Protein backbone atom coordinates (compact mmCIF):
# COMPACT_ATOMS: atom_id res chain seq x y z
CA UNK A 1 0.00 0.00 0.00
CA UNK A 2 1.33 3.42 -0.90
CA UNK A 3 2.53 5.64 1.92
CA UNK A 4 3.37 9.28 1.24
CA UNK A 5 6.79 10.05 2.70
CA UNK A 6 6.84 13.06 5.03
CA UNK A 7 7.86 16.45 3.67
CA UNK A 8 11.58 16.99 3.91
CA UNK A 9 12.53 13.49 2.87
CA UNK A 10 13.97 13.46 -0.65
CA UNK A 11 12.62 10.04 -1.64
CA UNK A 12 9.40 8.16 -2.15
CA UNK A 13 8.73 4.44 -1.89
CA UNK A 14 5.98 2.68 -3.85
CA UNK A 15 4.14 5.97 -4.24
CA UNK A 16 3.36 7.30 -7.71
CA UNK A 17 1.06 10.21 -6.96
CA UNK A 18 1.37 13.68 -8.51
CA UNK A 19 2.55 14.92 -5.10
CA UNK A 20 5.29 12.31 -4.95
CA UNK A 21 6.29 13.05 -8.52
CA UNK A 22 6.60 16.78 -7.90
CA UNK A 23 8.13 16.81 -4.41
CA UNK A 24 10.46 13.80 -4.29
CA UNK A 25 13.74 13.59 -6.15
CA UNK A 26 14.36 9.80 -5.84
CA UNK A 27 11.88 6.97 -6.31
CA UNK A 28 12.05 3.40 -5.04
CA UNK A 29 9.92 0.34 -5.74
CA UNK A 30 9.95 -2.48 -3.19
CA UNK A 31 8.25 -5.12 -5.35
CA UNK A 32 6.06 -5.67 -8.37
CA UNK A 33 2.62 -6.20 -6.81
CA UNK A 34 0.06 -3.92 -8.40
CA UNK A 35 -0.99 -2.17 -5.19
CA UNK A 36 2.61 -0.90 -4.96
CA UNK A 37 2.99 0.09 -8.58
CA UNK A 38 -0.36 1.51 -9.61
CA UNK A 39 0.07 4.77 -11.53
CA UNK A 40 3.79 4.09 -11.99
CA UNK A 41 3.40 4.84 -15.69
CA UNK A 42 3.04 8.51 -14.76
CA UNK A 43 6.71 8.41 -13.79
CA UNK A 44 8.10 8.04 -17.25
CA UNK A 45 10.90 10.53 -16.74
CA UNK A 46 12.34 9.53 -13.36
CA UNK A 47 14.77 6.76 -12.51
CA UNK A 48 13.17 4.06 -10.38
CA UNK A 49 15.33 1.97 -8.08
CA UNK A 50 14.32 -1.70 -7.84
CA UNK A 51 15.72 -5.19 -8.06
CA UNK A 52 16.22 -6.67 -11.51
CA UNK A 53 13.52 -9.26 -10.83
CA UNK A 54 11.01 -6.59 -9.78
CA UNK A 55 11.81 -4.62 -12.92
CA UNK A 56 11.38 -7.74 -15.07
CA UNK A 57 8.02 -8.57 -13.51
CA UNK A 58 6.83 -4.98 -13.69
CA UNK A 59 7.65 -4.63 -17.37
CA UNK A 60 5.34 -7.57 -18.04
CA UNK A 61 2.48 -5.59 -16.45
CA UNK A 62 3.50 -2.29 -18.04
CA UNK A 63 5.30 -3.10 -21.32
CA UNK A 64 5.26 0.54 -22.40
CA UNK A 65 7.56 1.53 -19.51
CA UNK A 66 11.07 1.84 -20.85
CA UNK A 67 13.60 -0.54 -19.23
CA UNK A 68 16.14 2.28 -19.03
CA UNK A 69 13.98 4.02 -16.38
CA UNK A 70 15.13 1.48 -13.82
CA UNK A 71 18.29 1.51 -11.76
CA UNK A 72 19.22 -1.77 -10.17
CA UNK A 73 19.75 -2.46 -6.49
CA UNK A 74 19.96 -5.99 -5.16
CA UNK A 75 19.63 -7.64 -1.74
CA UNK A 76 22.63 -6.83 0.43
CA UNK A 77 23.85 -4.04 -1.83
CA UNK A 78 24.13 -0.37 -0.94
CA UNK A 79 24.07 2.63 -3.23
CA UNK A 80 25.06 6.20 -2.51
CA UNK A 81 22.34 8.48 -3.82
CA UNK A 82 23.59 11.91 -4.81
CA UNK A 83 21.20 14.64 -3.72
CA UNK A 84 21.61 18.43 -3.66
CA UNK A 85 20.49 18.51 -0.01
CA UNK A 86 22.95 15.82 1.09
CA UNK A 87 23.93 12.45 -0.25
CA UNK A 88 22.41 9.40 1.41
CA UNK A 89 22.84 5.66 1.37
CA UNK A 90 20.19 3.11 0.54
CA UNK A 91 20.59 -0.61 1.20
CA UNK A 92 18.24 -3.38 0.06
CA UNK A 93 17.27 -6.28 2.35
CA UNK A 94 15.21 -9.36 1.61
CA UNK A 95 11.58 -8.63 2.48
CA UNK A 96 10.65 -12.31 2.65
CA UNK A 97 7.57 -11.53 0.56
CA UNK A 98 7.36 -12.25 -3.19
CA UNK A 99 10.20 -12.85 -5.70
CA UNK A 100 12.32 -9.72 -6.00
CA UNK A 101 10.79 -7.99 -2.97
CA UNK A 102 13.07 -5.89 -0.79
CA UNK A 103 12.98 -3.56 2.18
CA UNK A 104 14.95 -0.33 1.89
CA UNK A 105 17.15 1.10 4.62
CA UNK A 106 17.88 4.81 4.09
CA UNK A 107 20.72 6.44 6.00
CA UNK A 108 21.41 10.14 5.68
CA UNK A 109 21.20 13.55 7.31
CA UNK A 110 17.47 12.87 7.72
CA UNK A 111 18.23 9.93 10.01
CA UNK A 112 18.05 6.16 9.64
CA UNK A 113 14.80 5.00 8.10
CA UNK A 114 13.61 1.51 7.27
CA UNK A 115 10.80 1.10 4.75
CA UNK A 116 9.61 -2.49 4.78
CA UNK A 117 7.17 -2.52 1.88
CA UNK A 118 5.23 -5.77 2.16
CA UNK A 119 7.26 -8.14 4.27
CA UNK A 120 7.11 -11.22 6.41
CA UNK A 121 9.23 -9.73 9.15
CA UNK A 122 10.42 -12.83 10.99
CA UNK A 123 13.50 -13.09 13.19
CA UNK A 124 15.78 -14.25 10.37
CA UNK A 125 14.68 -11.29 8.30
CA UNK A 126 15.36 -8.86 11.15
CA UNK A 127 18.81 -10.31 11.80
CA UNK A 128 19.82 -9.44 8.25
CA UNK A 129 19.73 -5.79 9.26
CA UNK A 130 23.03 -4.20 10.38
CA UNK A 131 24.10 -5.12 13.91
CA UNK A 132 23.89 -1.55 15.15
CA UNK A 133 20.12 -1.50 14.51
CA UNK A 134 19.31 -4.93 15.92
CA UNK A 135 19.80 -6.12 19.46
CA UNK A 136 21.47 -9.54 19.57
CA UNK A 137 21.72 -12.08 22.36
CA UNK A 138 20.69 -9.76 25.16
CA UNK A 139 22.51 -6.74 23.75
CA UNK A 140 20.52 -3.68 22.85
CA UNK A 141 20.81 -1.99 19.49
CA UNK A 142 23.52 0.66 19.63
CA UNK A 143 21.83 2.89 17.06
CA UNK A 144 18.05 2.54 17.02
CA UNK A 145 16.25 3.31 13.81
CA UNK A 146 14.73 6.78 13.75
CA UNK A 147 11.68 5.68 11.80
CA UNK A 148 10.17 2.48 10.41
CA UNK A 149 7.54 2.52 7.70
CA UNK A 150 5.87 -0.84 8.23
CA UNK A 151 3.26 -1.91 5.72
CA UNK A 152 0.32 -3.23 7.76
CA UNK A 153 -2.20 -3.94 5.01
CA UNK A 154 -3.34 -7.06 6.86
CA UNK A 155 -2.59 -5.77 10.35
CA UNK A 156 -6.26 -5.90 11.30
CA UNK A 157 -7.02 -9.09 9.36
CA UNK A 158 -9.05 -11.20 11.77
CA UNK A 159 -8.34 -14.67 10.37
CA UNK A 160 -5.14 -16.51 11.17
CA UNK A 161 -2.56 -16.50 8.39
CA UNK A 162 -0.84 -19.78 7.52
CA UNK A 163 2.89 -20.00 8.08
CA UNK A 164 5.17 -19.73 5.08
CA UNK A 165 6.01 -23.44 5.42
CA UNK A 166 2.33 -24.37 5.54
CA UNK A 167 1.63 -22.24 2.45
CA UNK A 168 4.46 -23.94 0.55
CA UNK A 169 3.10 -27.36 1.51
CA UNK A 170 -0.38 -26.39 0.31
CA UNK A 171 1.03 -25.28 -3.05
CA UNK A 172 2.89 -28.59 -3.40
ZN1 LIG B 1 2.97 -7.39 -1.99
Taking each continuous run of H as one helix and of E as one strand, the counts in the chain are 5, 9
CA of 50 to the centre of ligand 1 (A): 14
Domains annotated on the chain, with CATH: 11-171 (3.60.15.10)
Rg of the chain over all Cα atoms, to the nearest angstrom: 16
Q: How far apart are CA 147 and CA 112, in angstroms?
A: 7
CA of 86 to the centre of ligand 1 (A): 31
pLDDT confidence of residue 41: 86
pLDDT confidence of residue 126: 87
CA of 140 to the centre of ligand 1 (A): 31
- The H-assigned helical ranges of the chain are 18-23, 34-37, 52-61, 123-127, 164-171
63-88 pLDDT tens trace: 989 999 999 999 999 999 999 999 99
CB 86 within 8 A of CB 109: yes
Which among 50, 18, 11, 9 has a CA at the least distance from the CA of 33?
50
CA of 135 to the centre of ligand 1 (A): 27
CA of 77 to the centre of ligand 1 (A): 21
CB atoms within 10 A of CB 133: 17
pLDDT confidence of residue 1: 64
CA of 128 to the centre of ligand 1 (A): 20
Blockwise average pLDDT, block size 10, the chain, 172 residues: 81 91 92 92 84 97 92 97 96 95 97 93 88 85 90 78 85 90
In SS3 terms, 109-147 reads as: CCEEEEECCCCCCCHHHHHCCCHHHCCECCECCCCCCCE
Pairing of strands 88-94, 78-81: antiparallel
Amino acid sequence: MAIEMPQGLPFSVDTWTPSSKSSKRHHFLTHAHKDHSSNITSHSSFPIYSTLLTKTLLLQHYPHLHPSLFLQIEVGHSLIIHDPHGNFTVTAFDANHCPGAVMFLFEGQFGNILHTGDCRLNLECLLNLPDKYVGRKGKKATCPLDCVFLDCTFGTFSRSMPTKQSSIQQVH
